[in-house]
Structure 1
Amino acid sequence: MTVSLIDEALVMRRAAPLPRYTSYPTANHFVPTAPADYRAWLGALEDNAALSLYLHIPFCNDLCWYCACSTKATHRYEPVARYLDTVEAEIATVAGLLPSGHRVMHLHWGGGSPDILSAADITRLGQTFRHNFRFDPAAEFAIEIDPRLMTVAKADAMVGAGVNRISIGVQDFDPVVQAAIGRLQGFDITRTTVDMFRDRGVTSVNFDLVYGLPHQTLESLSRTIEQVLELSPDRIAMFGYAHLPGRASNQKLIDEAALPGAIERFAMARQVTTMLEAAGYQQLGLDHFARREDSLSTQPLNRNFQGYTTDSTEALIGLGASAIGKLPQGYVQNAVAVADYAKRVAANGLATARGRALTPDDRLRAYVIERLMCDFEFSGTAVRQMFGDTASGVLQEADAIVSDDSDGFIEPTATGFRLTARGRPFVRNICARFDAYLNPVAGKHSLSV
């Protein structure tokens, strides 16, 4: 797709700072939350509750300039080792509050760079999880990988701990773009990492890519996609770069003059979709792609803080600094700063700092937004069956969206609407119509295109 084939006026009219809706309400609307509330929520889980666990490792060797994750750079291992001691203390507290019959269905280590851990500490941490939690035999264990930190010993330790899916940060293979974002990572080192895990029996490989980076062009991004296809990942996530230097100070190192504009960003996203679909990948939701035999394609799609997922468990438990969890009652987030996190765990066993108890209206809107982000469809029948008469207001809002549509984004259905092919790239704009908290202020959210 070329820029000339795009309705530029439409893109510019719809380009706005909007949430990615990995939760609703979004994290910027969390409020101070007491650890006692979290303890009560954990204690209220059903005895056979299906759970997911997320562990945050907030360390990297160096900070990439584009990154807005909660992480810090360190070339010393001592802070990492101290952090693991605190994590193990938090794990022991949380595990002691869970019902004895719980089943862990998903475990995800993210960061930061989880492979900053030594092989010995990967093994140690894996044993800590197995000792404290009850894992289902079919549990998925995913880990985020920085190929520049990977070694044979670390790969052996990860697979020995049960890792069966890896997510590799690629972003872009173009050397000019890599220099502009402070992340030099050659194609060969990425290939070596992929081969290392496949040789050890890991059959699910995800690549994270980013469009809208400085000096990135349609041509350079197309070359990156061609190289990605050589490595044949099972899943690909293609995120739009969120330039928010007011929130992530390292992004001030990015040359703003070199950033593609909204039209170019939109063209990039469409070009990637065209190339990946031609290569046999299925687009899932807004920005994920998977092979048709991959579970992400064959199972119902959901959305959480890790993006699109097959995870449908009752509770997601966040562990580590800044980690966010979701329980039936609402969201909880740990203290963000590592020192604050450690202080809270030492004092109370938990590091709960913020969160949000869900109201009935929150649950209703969260359901609608998640289904739109995953299925591109609003079903009035499903909403009324789940929420009864309380859904009346949202149903009226859906009718208004259909009536207001002048861009060809909406196709009415018997009880609601679905997004057209023209409207799907703007699904965040449609979701925003159901967001009762939204304050679209520049510098808070990424562009919707």
Structure 2
Amino acid sequence: MKTETIQKYDRGVPRYTSYPTAHLFQAGLSEATYREWLAAVPEEMPLSLYAHIPYCDSLCWFCGCHTKITQKYKPIREYLAVLQKEISMTADVMGMGRPVSHLHFGGGSPTILIPEDVRALFGTLREAFRFTADAELAVEIDPRDMSREAINAWAESGINRASLGVQDIQPKVQQAINRIQSIEQTAQVASWLHEAGVHGINMDLMYGLPYQTVESVLETVRQVMEMAPERIALFGYAHIPALKPHQRLIPEEVLPDFNERFEQQEAAAELLGSYGFVRIGLDHFAKQDDPMAIAFANGTLRRNFQGYTTDKAEAMIGFGASSIGCLPAGFIQNQVPITTYKSTINKGNFAVLKSIPFQGQDKLRAAIIEQLMCYHQVDLAPLCKQYGCSTDLFLYEFDQLQDLANDGIVTLDGSLISVTDDARSLVRTVCAVFDEYHGQRDRAYSKAV
């Protein structure tokens, strides 16, 4: 497919880690209603937990996360005490010992925690919840601040999957994004993880960063392959300085243009394929025997706020400042400012900031978008049957899809919609066709490619 055609549809669109998307969440959910939502989760329903640690010791200029820079540990320890209180409050409402099949620590940098606090946090979690025998417990790791002792603390606490932030190995690129990280540091942490029994290792890479070239991206992939990762996440850098002012520290003139970004993405994907990795969804790759590749093959792959996942839990509870949860009744987001979050929890109240209850066709459209994001195709007929409606509900969407079909972005076969292989980078643009809310509010989205 011509890059001109792809560029024509390279529009600002949501990342679709949820539907409705997070920018639609609104203030107004009472704490009483949130408690009702928690208590209404069926007792037998396995839970997914997310814990947000919003601290880093330095700021990466590409970062799009909610985080605070600190060189002192006191505010981290104070935050951790509040996080543990929120965990206990939640278990008190839902009932102690609810089953948990997935746990993810994100940030910020979760590995900024010292070993004794890692163990204390897990102690609180295990008092409040019951982890299933096959539960996946994952943590995001910044290799620059890890020690063998810290690795052992996480491993002894039950972590069985780790995502190592790499981005790019070239010094010039690292300097431009304010993240100096030697390949030796990363390799050492990967080795310590293997020695500690943590073999589910992911590596997070990026394309579209300042000064990157196709060859530099490929060299990063080659070097990372020496560390025997199970999965690779290849994210496109989202330059949105209007939302993340610190990104203004990156000169726009040294960012790759559209054609260069596209070439970097496709070249890296081809190289990963030569190493035997299965291309999954928009930006993930996994070894053929990895649980994610197996889930992709058998049709159980999911997508949520952590991206592509094998997590099958229908309810996710978010802990910590800015964290987002998903309950059968709707989505919830905690207060973003750390001070506000802490003061609210310390008063014995949940720190709910915004929410959106599911209504109308939300769950049907969410299922359609998730199928497209995971598999780049969706058959509307069985989904409409499952939700008790006719495919005629989407006549307007089919009219919009016809334009995409005429340009070779999708193929249409009855109720089956497939994104063509050459246009897979535009899958979010196809998803936006089924997004009832897209375009209703001003929002600066990242481009599709």
TM-score normalized with structure 1 length: 0.96
Q: Which amino acid aligns with 2:16?
A: Y
Match of 1:222 in 2: 218
Match of 1:92 among 75, 88, 93: 88
Q: Which residue matches 1:177?
A: 173
Q: How does 1:227-266 map to 2 (within 5 A)?
A: 227-266=223-262
2:207 alignment partner AA: Y
Residue 208 of structure 1: SS of its match in structure 2? strand
1:25-64 to structure 2, matched below 5 A, reads 25-32=20-27, 33-64=29-60
SS at match of 1:225: helix
Amino acid aligned to 2:340: D
Residues 298, 395 of structure 1: alpha-carbon distance in 2 compared, 3 angstrom cutoff: farther
What aligned pairs does 1:370-449 form with structure 2 within 5 A after superposition? 370-389=370-389, 392-394=392-394, 396-398=396-398, 400-402=400-402, 404-439=404-439, 444-449=444-449
Alpha-carbon distance in 2 for matches of 1:125, 1:231: 29
2:112 maps to what in 1? 116
| Greater displacement, 150-159 / 398-407 | 398-407
Q: Using a 3 Å threshold, how does the CA distance of structure 1 residues 100 and 83 change in structure 2: closer, same or farther? A: closer
Identity %: 41
SS in structure 1 of the partner of residue 139 of structure 2: strand
**Are 1:11 and 1:262, in contact at CA under 8 Å, matched by a contact in 2?**
no
CA contact under 8 A between 2:6 and 2:423: conserved in structure 1? no
For residue 264 of structure 2, give the secondary structure of its aligned residue in structure 1: helix
Instruction: Indicate yes or no: 2:206 matched with 1:207.
Output: no
Deviates more, 1:61-70 or 1:32-41: 32-41
Which of 182, 193, 196 is 2:189 aligned to?
193
Cα contact 1:286–1:427 (8 A) shared by 2 = yes
Q: In the superposition, relative to structure 1, how do residues 386 and 295 fare at CA in structure 2: closer, same or farther (>3 Å)?
A: same
Q: Quick one: distance in 2 between partners of 1:404 and 1:233?
A: 36
1:390 to partner: Cα distance: 6.2
In the aligned structure 2, how far is the partner of 1:396 from the partner of 1:194? 50
Contact kept, 8 Å, 2:161 with 2:200, in 1: the verdict is yes
* Offset of residue 398 of structure 1: 3.5
The partner residue of 1:297 within 276, 293, 297 is 293
User: Could you tell which deviates more after superposition, 197-206 or 407-416?
Assistant: 407-416
| AA matched with 1:8 | T
1:18 and 2:22 are equivalent in the alignment: no
Which stretch of structure 1 is more off in the superposition, 242-251 or 381-390? 381-390
Amino acid at match of 2:14: P
For residues 42 and 292 of structure 1, what CA distance do their matches in structure 2 show? 37
Q: Compared with structure 1, are the counterparts of its residues 440 and 231 closer, same or farther at alpha carbon in structure 2 (3 Å cutoff)?
A: farther
Deviation at 1:264, TM superposition (A): 1.0
Q: CA deviation at 1:404?
A: 5.0
Q: How many pairs align? A: 444
Q: CA deviation digits over 1:236-286, x for unaligned, max 9?
A: 111110111121121111111111111111111111110001110000101
2: CA distance, partners of 1:405 / 1:58:
43
Return the match for 2:164 from 143, 162, 168: 168
* Structure 2 Cα separation of the partners of residues 404 and 234 of structure 1: 35
Show CA shifts across 1:405-430 (max 9, x none): 22212223343221221232210110
- Residue identity opposite 1:110 in structure 2: G
Q: CA–CA distance in 2 between the matches of 1:301 and 1:311?
A: 8
TM-score (norm 2): 0.96
Q: Write out the 4+ residue segments of structure 1 that deviate beyond 4 Å after TM superposition.
A: 440-443
SS in 2 for 1:31: coil
Deviation at 1:106, TM superposition (A): 0.4
Q: Contact 1:18/1:440 (CA < 8 Å) preserved in 2?
A: no
Provide the secondary structure at the position in 2 that maps to 1:332.
Answer: strand
- Report the Cα distance in structure 2 between the residues aligned to 1:218 and 1:227, rounded to whole angstroms: 15
Aligned letter for 2:4? A
Displacement, 1:222?
Answer: 1.1
Contact kept? 1:59, 1:73, Cα under 8 Å: yes
- Greater alpha carbon shift after TM alignment, 275-284 vs 412-421: 412-421
Letter of the 2:417 partner, please give it: F
Query: Unaligned regions of 5+ residues in structure 2, if any?
Result: none
1:3 matched residue in structure 2:
none
Match of 1:322 in 2: 322
User: After superposition, what is the alpha-carbon deviation per residue over 1:305-352, rounded to whole angstroms, capped at 9, x for unaligned?
Assistant: 000001111200000000000011110000001001011112243111
Quick one: which amino acid aligns to residue 378 of structure 2? Answer: F
Partners of 1:278 and 1:404 in 2: CA distance: 31
Report SS of the residue matched to 2:387: helix
Q: Secondary structure at the match of 1:385?
A: helix
CA contact (8 A) 1:381 1:415 kept: yes
Deviation of 1:399 (Å): 5.9
1:383 shift after superposition: 1.6
* In 2: Cα distance, 1:129 partner to 1:399 partner: 49
SS at match of 1:445: coil
Q: Bigger CA drift: 308-317 or 246-255?
A: 246-255
Per the TM alignment, residue 36 of structure 1 is displaced from its structure 2 partner at its CA by 1.9
